[in-house]
A and B are shown apart, each in its own frame.
Chain A
Amino acid sequence: MNDPNTPPLIPQPALAAVTAGAPTPPPPETNLDEQVPIPNVVSAIESILRQPRRVLYQLRQPGSGRLIAAMAFVAVVCGLIYGLVVGTFSGGTQFWAAPLKIAAGLLLSALICLPSLYIFACLSGSPARLVEVVGLVAGLATLMTILLIGFAPVAWVFSQSTESIVAMGALHLAFFLVSTWFGLRFLNAGSSAHADRTGGIKVWMIIFILVMLQMTTALRPLIGKADTLLPTEKKFFVTHWLECAKQSDETSQSSSLTR
């Protein structure tokens, strides 16, 4: 039997949490709530918002494909819904074009950046498998689009009360950046959990944002109207924004003269 005067041994992860200070949460293995499987789509949405560490834990388990598929499904559906709200600004063709472009643009951006994320994860010393990295990207997309749905009512109100494409563009851009920030925070938590170095992941985050921003220009128009569904001229996103701002400035000046 144990000597009653000898204190019980503290498990190593718990000890690490104590020595590292109070703000450091214990690893997922120590919290039983985080080990509960995620059975369906609703549970996946709730988990990614309330218990992201539960999602991260489940992504490391065998058979995480179902969770990844569920998150990808949520991301596409939420992307389509937010796209519908974006389309209400111009109406007509944009009612179906904007949702399709936003969902497709998100998926394409994720696919374009996925190989480099896997390589960056490996370079940073993480033992993450490709499936886990795919899961992290799916989680990033899910969290981003769920948050965009949260912003959708606000975006809709503004889209019904303004005629300025630049103002709506800036608003959607702000919502996109806030959502992306939270999404990337989730991805960073997952990818840096076992990594020795996180510099590469941060570089990847910048690349992902740039690819997403360029995608909005490559698939334009998302907000306004155009003669063709996709652009005939290729532009860098900053050039496109500056041209839109200039055009809007000229329009507002000419309309103020006629008022």
Chain B
Amino acid sequence: MRAATATIQVREFPALLGGNPATLKDWAANWQMSRLLMCVAVIFAGAGLYGAAMGYWRSPVQAGYNIVKFPLVVIATTLGTSLINGMLAPLLGLNLRFRQSLMLVLMSFTIAAAILGSFAPIVFFIVWNTTSLAGQTEIPWAIYNFVQLTQVIIVAFAGVAANVRLFRVLQAVNGSQGVARKVLFAWLAGNLFLGSQLCWILRPFIGSPGLPVQFFRDNAFQGNFYETVFRAIGHLLSS
């Protein structure tokens, strides 16, 4: 019986990626624990593999840390913003229940995680082809920046693809493009706001070549992402 359920969930996976609004709307409306678990499993597998590929450039230990940390950021962001997301949707004109909004955000992160996971072998290949840090007398900043840029492009692509699908579902729920856009931007703002800070706390992911490999930085809870960005802008303007 369990095996049969698992098969059904795996078969549903392409439907999720295809982003058929009617199907996803139905999934959000009809809450199923097995479907929820499938989403969580895909997030852990996809984001974990991608995180490992990303961290492998710094060291295999960093890759191991990222297998846990990267999915944690995604899950924690989904749960941390679920309450405000569930409240914002009806306020902005989209009649969604809390469970529905949570499921929709989770499905969008699942799509992003699946895309990231599929890119993991390519990122491993890119990292394998870059100069290793071991035995270097000088820190290869150009390669570090290249690895960072590659991650930004891939993560941005996965995020855009996932949100395009989420937008279509939101539109299917309400029928209004304007309301769907408002809700999507509100959810995105919340997710980005919390997600950035969670990434800051759980840093490093790639790992600066000049700093040691750690699960958490010693000053993980000191300062925040936005302070650092403002300070960097300040430095840039004053120099």
- List residues of chain A with CB under 8 Å of any chain B CB: 111-113, 115-116, 118-120, 122-129, 207, 211, 214, 217-218, 233-236
Contacts and interface: CB of A to CB of B under 8 A. Distances in A.
Contacts of B20: 125
Contact of B129 (A124, A127, A218): A218
A122 B17 contact: yes
Contact of A111 (B14, B19, B121, B131): B121
Contact of B125 (A112, A119, A122, A236): A112
B12 to A, nearest CB: 11
A116 B114 CA distance: 9
B121 A112 contact: yes
B115 A211 contact: no
18 contacts: A112-B121, A112-B122, A115-B117, A115-B119, A116-B118, A119-B17, A119-B115, A119-B117, A123-B18, A123-B111, A125-B18, A126-B18, A127-B18, A128-B14, A207-B122, A211-B122, A218-B128, A234-B132
Interface in B4-27: 13-14, 17-20
B119 A116 contact: yes
Contacts, number: 60
Given A112-B122, A115-B120, A211-B122, A122 B128 contact: no
Contact of B122 (A116, A123, A125, A218): A116
B130 interface: yes
B132 A115 contact: no
Contacts of B111: 123
Main secondary structure of the interface of B (DSSP, over half): helix
Interface residues of B, number: 24
Given A115-B117, A119-B115, A122-B17, A234 B122 contact: no
Interface string B147-161: 000000000000001
Contacts of B161: 123
Given A119-B115, A123-B17, A125-B18, A234 B125 contact: no
A124 B131 CA distance: 35
Contact of A122 (B18, B124, B126, B131): B18
